[in-house]
Amino acid sequence: MNICRTVEELNSAIESVKLQHKTIGLVPTMGALHDGHKSLFIRARKENDVFVSSVFVNPIQFNNKEDFEKYPRDEQKDLAVLEECGCDIAFVPKAEDVYQQEPKEFHFGKLEEVMEGKQRPGHFSGVANIVSRLFLWTKADRAYFGEKDYQQIAIIKDMIRQENINIEIVPCPIYRDEDGLATSSRNQRLSKEARLIAPKIHQILEKSFLQKDSLSFNQITRFVEDEFAKVKEFQLEYFIIVDDTTLQPIHTRENNQGVVGCVAVWLDGVRLIDIQRYY
Ligand code: AMP
């Protein structure tokens, strides 16, 4: 595995791959790698000649300083995981190098007026800055993203349209621990007790799915809010049912419309997100 610590090193590694006309698959990450990341690595490894991954805790996408500082970091372990997953090029840059050119401000209109965009001002502009740079530097043919960060995928698709970047975005299903909790780097910050409560997030959403034919979306929303309120350790930030492409809130289903419920909830000082499809 070629470990590149600067953009210059990455450029020269990519140049030699491109000279051989090989396809490149990219998985951007912020490290603290877990089995959810691995599920993306496995696909990128299988579907491309060359598998590139980045580990970079992107400061400008955190709107909360404490969250950035507390974000788990373990570079040696991450590099070992990448190596084990057959990574060819690991890009582990420093912020000074990534942001030699000042970040620009991205706008995503209605797409960012809901959920994470609404709750975390500036977050998606920060994400778009790092991801657009990674796409240009790695010259990847495909990039893999997890559906846990559901809104992020829509934002990135819009970003490549705005920036005219030719790359295939590959959405990947949420990977869950055996008890149903979506794996996340933030899970390791949960206390033992909180970790036992966390799977209720997926359980509540699954229960709500079973009601989809008998309840309206407004009633499902109330049901989910009530279920979260019953567990005193949870503080629900939002639960919202949206069209799976436009991400706009919906109240009744049109024919064949894809519908997804998105949740953000605090538990033990940790903010967790998850989704549930209703089709
Ligand atoms: P992060 O390191 O948290 O920025 O995540 C890097 C990528 O891994 C993003 O595309 C995430 O959506 C994806 N990812 C994180 N957790 C999971 C999971 N449990 N299942 C699937 N993809 C995930």
Whole-number Å distance, alpha carbon 184 to ligand 1 midpoint, is 7
DSSP H helical ranges for 25-91: 35-47, 65-70, 75-84
- Ligand 1 contact via 175 beta carbon (within 6 Å): yes
For the whole model, what pTM was predicted? Answer: 0.97
| pLDDT, mean over the chain | 97
Say whether 139 sits in a helix, a strand or coil: coil
pLDDT at 97: 97
- pLDDT bracket for residue 136 (50, 70, 90): very high
pLDDT at 35: 98
Token pair 């993306």: residue: 40
Whole-number Å distance, alpha carbon 183 to ligand 1 midpoint, is 8
Q: Is the pLDDT of residue 254 over 90?
A: no
pLDDT at 7: 98
Q: Is the pLDDT of residue 206 over 80?
A: yes
CA distance 52 to 86: 9
Determine how β-strand 89-91 pairs with β-strand 142-146. Answer: unpaired
Q: Is the pLDDT of residue 99 over 90?
A: yes
Least confident window among 146-160, 217-231, 252-266: 252-266
pLDDT at 279: 87
CA distance 261 to 240: 6
At 29-54, the pLDDT tens digits run 999 999 999 999 999 999 999 999 99
Q: Is the pLDDT of residue 252 over 90?
A: no
Average pLDDT over residues 78-104: 98
Tell me which of 21, 37, 107, 123 is the catalytic residue.
37
pLDDT at 256: 76
pLDDT at 190: 97
Whole-number Å distance, alpha carbon 78 to ligand 1 midpoint, is 14
- pLDDT bracket for residue 257 (50, 70, 90): confident
